[in-house]
Amino acid sequence: MRIFVEGVGLLGPGLNGWQASRPVLSGGEPYVATPTVVTASDRLPPAERRRTGIPVKLALAVGYEAFTNAGRDAAATATVFTSSSGDGETLHHICETLASAEREISPTRFHNSVHNAAAGYWSIAARSQEPSTSLCCYDASFAAGLLEAVAQVVVDGIPVALIAYDQPYPEPLHAVRAIGANFGMALLLAPQPTGRTFASLDVTLVPDEARPTCMSDAGLERVRASIPAARSLPMLSALGRSATEVVVLEYVGGNHLRVAVAPYR
Amino acid sequence: MKPLAISHFSIVNSLGAGSEPVTGALRGRRSGLTACDFETVVLDTYIGQVSGLDQVRIRSDLGAYDCRSNRLAQLGLEADGYTGAVAAARTKYGSERIGVFMGTSTSGILQTELAFRRRDSQTGALPADLRYAETQNSFSLADFVQRYLGLRGPAFVVSSACSSSAKVFGNAARMMAAGVCDAAVVGGVDTLCLTTLYGFNSLGLVSRAPCRPSDVDRDGISIGEGAGFALLEKASEKPDQPAAVVLGVGESCDAYHMSTPHPEGMGAKLAMQRALAAAGLTAGDIDYINLHGTATKSNDASEDKAVFELFGDETPCSSTKGWTGHLLGAAGITEAIISILALQNDLMPGSMHTQDVDPALKCNHLLANRDARVNRVLSNSFGFGGSNCSLILATAG
C-alpha cells in the first residue's frame, strides 16, 4: 500500500518539534536527552483546555504541527489515534480512589479515562466531524495505527492524520509497565502526491518475524525501545534524512510491517 | 462499500450464553437486569451481569490472561459453535489471512482496580500476580482472542468508548478491501467494573431502576456486561448462505463535548447518512432501527432528533438496553447481533421497561414486540468523545 507524506509532528525527550529534531535524527547533531516539553494547546476553548491531561496535550501539539507543515484543513481530515496506555495519570487516580473508602471519582476524570479522550478533544479543537478511531496494540500500537491509517488512505482515497502518543504511568503502575517518557508523533498521509508531498511510504504486512530497525545513536535507541509510540523513530529518521530505506516495524501475531520510505520531489 | 458476509456469530450477556437464550429472552420479554450486587459495589442501581464468570477456567495454555474480561471473551468464543467456525475459516484462508479487530472500553481494568487494594503497605507496590500486558492493557482482549483462535493475521483493539465494537466492522472492511486479510474476527467484550459503575454514577447518569429508553421518566443507564463475535468474509467469496450481510458502516464525530451528545444529534445524523451512503441505500430501505437508546435524557433526545430528520415518524425503532443494559464497549457488537436475530426471526423487539414514550420524541418508538418481515436493520452506537458509528445489516441474498 503506497501513500504520500505531507507533514510530520514530533515531541519527545530531547525532540522538540519535527523541524528542530531533523538534524538530530539525521545524525548531524548530537542527541541530548532532556525532558519532553509539553504545553497546552490554545486550540481548545479554555474550559476544555483546563481539563486535559498530558496525552491530550501531546496529541494536539504533534497533530497541529503535522497539519501546519502540510497546510491541510484539520476540520476536513479523518484521524487515527493510537496509544499503548492512554492517560496513565488518570487511570492511577481512578484506581487509587476506588481502592479507598470514598469511591467518589470526579466526573471529568472519568470521561478523560476513555482511550479516545485525545480523539474527542481533537475533534472539538479541530471542529472535525470526520471519521476517527482510537487504537491500542500494546508495544505495537504505532505499527497498528500506521497499518490502519494507510489502509484507510488507500481504500477510502482520503487524507488521514495518524497521531501516536504515550505517557508514562506513575508508580506503582510504572513498575509493572515502564514507559520511558512522554512522546507524541503525527503523520499526515494522502492518497495522491500534492505540492506538499515530500516522501512516500509503501507499507506491507509480512507474515513472519523480523528484527526491527533500530536507531544507531544509543540515546535515541533507548527512547525507541522504551516508548511504544517511539517505535516510529527509525521511520522518522529515514524521512528526516530524505533517505530511500526499508524500515522494519515489529507487529503482533508473528508478523512485521515492512515500510519502504522514499523521498518524493 | 463491498458487502461483507457474516458467516457466523456468537453472543453472551445477562440474557444467557448463545443466540438461543438471547432470542428466547427477546421473544419472552425477559430482561437480564437485576439489582446491583456486583463485587463490593454499593450503588442503588440495576446491572446486567453474566452468571458463572467466577467459575470459568481460562484455557490452560492462556492462564496468564485470566481475568473477568478474558473469561467472558472465552465464554463468547465457545458459544454458538463460534470457535469451530473460525477453525474452518482458518483451514480455508490460512491463519495469517484472518484479522482480529476487537472493541472494548475497559478491557481488564477490574484486575488493576482489585490489585490497588492489595498494594504493599510498606512500598506501595502492586502485587506480583498482576499481569499488566495480559489483563490490564486494552490490547489484551485482541491478544487473547487471537491466541485462543490460533490466528496470526493483523490484530488490534479499537477503544472509542461505547462505539468501539461497532467501529471494528469498519476496520475489518478496510483491511479486507486493502487485501491485508481475507476474513476477520470482529467483536467486543466489556465487563462490569468499579470504574464504569462509579464513573457513570459520578456523572449522574445511572438509573435507580432498570433503564427505560425513550420513556418520559427515563433517568439514566443500567450498566451491563457481555461479549459478541462475528466472522466476516467477503460476500463475493462466500458460497454458502451467510447469517446476514453488512451493507454499510458510517462513522463520525460530534466535535461538541466529551460526555454529552450534540443536542441536535448532528454527529449521529452524519454517521447514519454515511452508513446509508456506503450501502447505496436510502432511509426508506430500512425496516427497523436498533437505537443506541441508553435511556439518558440527553442521548435519547438527541438521537430521536437525528433519526426523525432522516427517517421521519414511520420507521419502527427501539432500544434493547432494557434487556441487556448498556454494554459500553460491547454494545456495538451485541446490538449488531441482536439486529441479525431480528432479521432471522422477523422480530422487532419493543423497548422494555418503557411505559410512556416521552411526548417530546417524534420517532416511531416501539414498546411491544412486533412480528413483521425485517430485511434491513440500522444499528446505532455512540460514545464518549462524541464517537458515532452506524451499521446497516441485511438478510443475505
Is the pLDDT at B324 greater than 70? The verdict is yes
Q: Do B180 and A147 touch (CB under 8 A)?
A: yes
ipTM value of the model?
0.98
Indicate the length of chain B as a whole number: 397
Residue A241, classed as helix, strand or coil, is: coil
Q: Which position has the higher pLDDT, A185 or B241?
A: A185
Each residue's pLDDT tens digit, A64-106: 999 999 999 999 999 999 999 999 999 999 999 999 999 999 9
Cell, residue B354: 418503557
Percent of chain A topping pLDDT 90: 94
Is the pLDDT at A47 greater than 90? The verdict is no
Residues of chain A neighbouring B387 (CB-CB closer than 8 A): 116, 119-120, 132, 134
Q: Which CATH superfamily is domain A2-195 in?
A: Thiolase/Chalcone synthase (3.40.47.10)
Nearest beta carbon to residue B161 from set A91, A116, A136 = A116
Percent of chain B topping pLDDT 90: 97
Quick one: pLDDT at residue A51?
A: 83
Give the mean pLDDT of chain A: 96
- Pairs across A and B, CB distance < 8 A: 217
Assess B273–A contact: CB distance below 8 Å, yes or no: no
Cell, residue A68: 501546519
Give the count of beta carbons closer than 10 Å to the beta carbon of residue B266: 22
Each residue's pLDDT tens digit, B271-303: 999 999 999 999 999 999 999 999 999 999 999
Question: Could you give the CA distance from residue B27 to residue A113 in angstroms, rounded to a whole number?
Answer: 37
**From the CA of B246, how many Å to the nearest CA of chain A?**
17
**From the CA of B177, how many Å to the nearest CA of chain A?**
6
Nearest CA in chain B to A106: B202
Residues of chain A neighbouring B174 (CB-CB closer than 8 A): 148, 151-152, 155-156
The DSSP line for A179-222 is: --S-EEEEEEEESS--TT--EEEEEEEESS--PPP--SSHHHHH
Q: Do B194 and A103 touch (CB under 8 A)?
A: yes
Q: In chain A, what are the domain boundaries?
A: 2-195
**From the CA of B368, how many Å to the nearest CA of chain A?**
34
Residues of chain B neighbouring A51 (CB-CB closer than 8 A): 258
Q: What are phi and psi of A263, to 5 degrees?
A: -70, 155
Each residue's pLDDT tens digit, A1-10: 999 999 999 9
Is the pLDDT at B397 greater than 80? The verdict is no
Confidence of residue B239 (pLDDT cuts 50, 70, 90): low
Confidence of residue A46 (pLDDT cuts 50, 70, 90): confident
Active site residues of B: 162, 292, 326
- Which of the residues B40, B156, B262 would you substitute to probe the A interface, choosing the one with the greatest number of A C-beta atoms within 10 Å? B156
Q: Is B85 left (phi over 0), alpha (psi -120 to 50) or beta?
A: alpha
Give the mean pLDDT of chain B: 97
Each residue's pLDDT tens digit, B90-125: 999 999 999 999 999 999 999 999 999 999 999 999
**From the CA of B384, how many Å to the nearest CA of chain A?**
7
The DSSP line for B309-352 is: HHHTTTSEEE--HHHH-B-GGGHHHHHHHHHHHHHHHTEEPPPS
Between A40-49, A206-215, B22-31, the lowest mean confidence (pLDDT) is in A40-49
**Residues B140-154: what's their mean pLDDT?**
98
Assess B93–A contact: CB distance below 8 Å, yes or no: no
Fold of B4-394: Peroxisomal Thiolase; Chain A, domain 1 (3.40.47)
- Which of the residues B39, B114, B159, B390 would you substitute to probe the A interface, choosing the one with the greatest number of A C-beta atoms within 10 Å? B159
Nearest CA in chain B to A129: B253
Q: In chain B, what are the domain boundaries?
A: 4-394
DSSP code for B13: E
Each residue's pLDDT tens digit, A148-183: 999 999 999 999 999 999 999 999 999 999 999 999
Question: Could you give the CA distance from residue A129 to residue A76 in angstroms, rounded to a whole number?
Answer: 8
